[in-house]
Amino acid sequence: MIKIIDRYIIKTFFGPFLFIFSVLFFIFIVNIVWIQLGQFMGKGLTYWEIIKLLFYFGVSVISLVMPLTILLSSIMTFGEFGERYELAALKAAGVSLTRVMAPLFVVSVILSVILFLFQNNIMPDFQRKAKNMMYNIAQTRPALNFTEGQFIDQIPGYLVKFDKISGENGENLEGVYIHRKANSYQDQQSIRAEKGKLMPSPENRNYLRLVLFNGYVFEENIYGKGFIERHKQPDQAIKFDTLVSHFDISEIINKAIEEERITDDYRFQTYGQLSKSLVETRKSNTKTFEYINNDLMSQVNPYLNSSEKVLNISIERMPVKPAEPEPDSLTKEKKLEQLYGAYSKIETLKTTIQNREAEINPAIKNFSRMAMYQQRIIAYSVTCIIFFLIGASLGSIIRKGGLGLPVVIAIVIFIVFYVLNLSMENLAWDGTLNPFLAAWLPNIILTPFGIWMTYKALTDSQLFDAERYKALIKPITQRFSRKKEHQRYQ
């Protein structure tokens, strides 16, 4: 049964916890909005659709918001206990700091389990919804890829520019300019119109229907004609009231499907599913690497075999007694030709190896991403417990509540953790560090610090006492001050 003191400690903890969690979640969401908002605003999406899409993407930040919230809340909670002398009163009543930390430690463990369940079971669904929503936008709103006042080559074979885009789905256009891509030997065509209407074709979703109003078609028919005939060819300008064009956008849709990978993405999987995917990916990468290795060896072996034959022939024909050196039978031009041939073969092999590296690196990066994503499902949950130990210990040592010094210390610790995370991630993606170790290394580095801080808190260490550090350097400062005082009376 929970005692009164436990209820009081937990209640004091959850006050700042809920406030800090809301603030941090909002800050992280604003960061995502700052990065992503320019891609959606003014291009036919409603505000509700933008908010929903950003929320789907923003839910993933909870894995970082939760540990930081626990760190800040624990520092502020124990800082307030120390500032109000409640810790001193509990210790005087015979209640140890370990007993005070126990209920919140249990709460931190429960929160870490909740975070694991959230990352493992709920977050994949949000990731899937976000990707599917992006796919639907690519299918039903092709105008999303267009920007006002800029030439865009999203439509294959054409350059387009729209001075103004309006309408709920970005279907109303003003100041339309379309230029067909062609080289100097092909027929040229440009279209200029005052207004237009852009919409998916009702017959086939792979085609985009563009209806233009009040404009001109400029054409130059120069295909198969000589230079003189081109100069004689008159420019053709055809005025129209209404012109309907259909553009094939199947390439855009297929590219969007391929990039988003809406049906097969490791972020849609749970921890157990990721384990199976990692085994399959490892097998696939092994086959790929073996094929690349055999291919490179097949290209190198002919040169090795030929060099061995030349070496064997020279050894067999070597006379027992040293013979007089034969005159050089090769001309200088022939030697240069052979050297150039050898150099060309070496450069070809170097280029081949570089191309093969371009195939190997994405495979390593993809496997590392998958492995780190899987391990972080557990690693971030463990980070919550480590941050609680650090935060509770720091709060009981500094004995300052509120949003001043505790916030500064918590931010510094979180920045160190975040930098370690990014550094380990980059090393894993490059293949320098094992991705399984890279996911856990920030926790491994911070765990001794958390244990040391807990020990200092339990032993009532004055870790942040400025007077203590002044006393340590006082003999040094006194030495210089006495010398100056002595010089003053000389």
The pLDDT profile of the chain, 490 residues, written as one tens digit per residue, is 468 888 888 888 888 889 888 888 888 887 776 766 655 554 455 677 777 777 777 788 888 889 989 998 888 888 888 788 888 888 888 888 888 888 889 999 999 999 999 988 888 888 877 777 766 665 555 444 577 888 877 677 788 888 888 877 677 888 988 888 776 667 778 888 999 888 776 666 567 788 889 888 887 776 666 666 666 666 677 888 888 877 776 666 555 544 454 556 777 778 888 888 888 888 887 887 777 777 767 766 665 554 444 444 444 444 444 444 444 555 777 777 767 777 777 767 777 676 666 667 777 888 888 888 888 899 999 999 999 998 888 888 877 766 667 678 888 888 888 899 888 888 888 778 888 898 899 999 999 988 888 888 888 766 655 566 566 666 776 666 655 555 554 4
Q: Write down the pLDDT at residue 157.
A: 76
Are 384 and 354 part of one and the same domain?
no
Helix locations, 221-331, DSSP H: 227-232, 250-260, 271-316
Q: Write down the pLDDT at residue 401.
A: 62
Q: Is residue 320 part of a domain?
A: no
Q: Is the dihedral of CA 30, 110, 446, 10 positive or negative?
A: positive
Report angle CA 317, 322, 328 to the nearest 5 degrees. 70
Pairing of strands 172-180, 188-200: antiparallel
Q: Domain boundary residue among 325, 353, 371?
A: 371
Task: Kindly state the tokens that stand for 56.
Answer: 């789907």
Neighbouring C-beta atoms of residue 61, cutoff 10 Å = 16
Are 134 and 36 part of one and the same domain?
yes
Closest CA relative to residue 397, chosen from 471, 466, 464, 455? 464
Helix locations, 233-270, DSSP H: 250-260
Q: Is residue 418 part of a domain?
A: yes
What confidence tens digit (pLDDT) does each residue in 118-150 have? Answer: 988 888 888 877 777 766 665 555 444 577 888
Burial 254-273 (b: 16+ CB within 10 A, else e): eebeeebebeeebbbbeeee
Are 167 and 215 part of one and the same domain?
yes
Report field, pTM of the whole predicted structure over 0.85: no
Are 283 and 391 part of one and the same domain?
no
Q: Is residue 489 part of a domain?
A: no
What confidence tens digit (pLDDT) does each residue in 415-458 have? Answer: 888 899 888 888 888 778 888 898 899 999 999 988 888 888 88
Are 355 and 277 part of one and the same domain?
yes
Neighbouring C-beta atoms of residue 162, cutoff 10 Å = 24
Are 223 and 283 part of one and the same domain?
no
Domains of the chain: total:
3
Are 362 and 386 part of one and the same domain?
no
Are 24 and 129 part of one and the same domain?
yes
Task: Spell out the residues 6+ positions from residue 463 whose beta carbon is closer than 8 angstroms to its own.
Answer: 397, 398, 456
Q: Is residue 258 part of a domain?
A: no
Task: Kindly state the tokens that stand for 98.
Answer: 């370990």
Are 180 and 238 part of one and the same domain?
yes
| SS3 label, residue 6 | helix
Q: Is residue 148 part of a domain?
A: no
Domain residue limits at 403: 4-140+377-472
Q: Is residue 327 part of a domain?
A: no
Residue with tokens 């015979």: 94
Q: Domain boundary residue among 193, 215, 248?
A: 248
In this structure, the dihedral spanned by the alpha carbons of residues 253, 258, 264 and 265, taken in order and rounded to 10 degrees, is -110
Closest CA relative to residue 456, chosen from 388, 395, 384, 402? 395
Are 349 and 418 part of one and the same domain?
no
Q: Write down the pLDDT at residue 385.
A: 92
Task: Kindly state the tokens that stand for 177.
Answer: 């300019």
Q: Write down the pLDDT at residue 327.
A: 44
Closest CA relative to residue 468, chosen from 412, 400, 397? 397
Are 408 and 353 part of one and the same domain?
no
Strands of the sheet containing 158-166, edge to edge, are 158-166, 172-180, 188-200, 207-220, 236-248
Q: Is residue 483 part of a domain?
A: no
Q: Write down the pLDDT at residue 315.
A: 44
Q: Is residue 90 part of a domain?
A: yes
Distance, in Å, from the CA atom of 257 to the CA atom of 139, rounded to the nearest integer, reads: 9
Are 168 and 106 part of one and the same domain?
no
Distance, in Å, from the CA atom of 394 to the CA atom of 407, rounded to the nearest integer, reads: 11
Neighbouring C-beta atoms of residue 95, cutoff 10 Å = 13
Q: Write down the pLDDT at residue 36.
A: 63
